[in-house]
């Protein structure tokens, strides 16, 4: 049974909705119905949202599998917190104008760390 992963999935879903709201607001203010309209602010809002959509589901799936295989609550929480921190830092750093590059970079390192450690943990637990 999953007891921990759903908490991180919910928090990241809230982040994703916030990023989506930013895309919608940017569309409205720039009067952009479809695509990016060549607007740099629109492109940044879209890519910030898309980056979350590209990495978070895969990482959450791996974390859920770690939890389902019986990993300790500490391990699952560390993976979830690492992913959540990574996604928040990346979204904040990338979404700012000008970008806060170090936050974007730390966010990606944390995201990759969560994915890699969860992948390795799944292999260890499965074998």
* Domains of the chain in sequence order: 5-126 (1.20.120.550)
What is the per-residue pLDDT across 76-105, written as a single tens digit (0 to 9) for each? 999 999 999 999 999 999 999 999 999 999
| Predicted TM-score of the model (pTM) | 0.95
The pair of structure tokens assigned to 111 is 């995201």
Distance CA 40, CA 105 (A): 20
Contacts of 94 (CB under 8 A, 6+ apart): 44, 47, 48, 51, 103, 104, 107
Of the candidates 110, 106, 78, the one whose C-alpha atom is nearest the C-alpha of residue 93 is: 106
Q: Name the band, by pLDDT with cuts 50, 70 and 90, for residue 1.
A: confident
- Tens digits of residue pLDDT in 18-48: 999 999 999 999 999 999 999 999 999 999 9
């Amino acid at each position: 049974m999953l007891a921990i992963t759903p908490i991180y999935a919910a928090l990241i879903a809230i982040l994703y909705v916030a990023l989506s709201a930013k895309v919608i607001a940017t569309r409205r203010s720039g009067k952009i119905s479809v695509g990016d309209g060549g607007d740099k602010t629109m492109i940044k809002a879209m890519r910030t949202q898309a980056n979350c959509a590209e990495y978070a589901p895969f990482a959450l799936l791996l974390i859920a599998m770690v939890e389902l295989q019986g990993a300790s609550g500490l391990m699952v929480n560390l993976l979830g917190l690492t992913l959540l921190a990574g996604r928040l830092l990346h979204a904040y750093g990338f979404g700012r104008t000008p970008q806060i590059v170090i936050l974007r970079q730390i966010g990606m390192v944390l995201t990759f760390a969560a994915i890699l450690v969860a992948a390795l943990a799944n292999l260890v637990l499965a074998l």
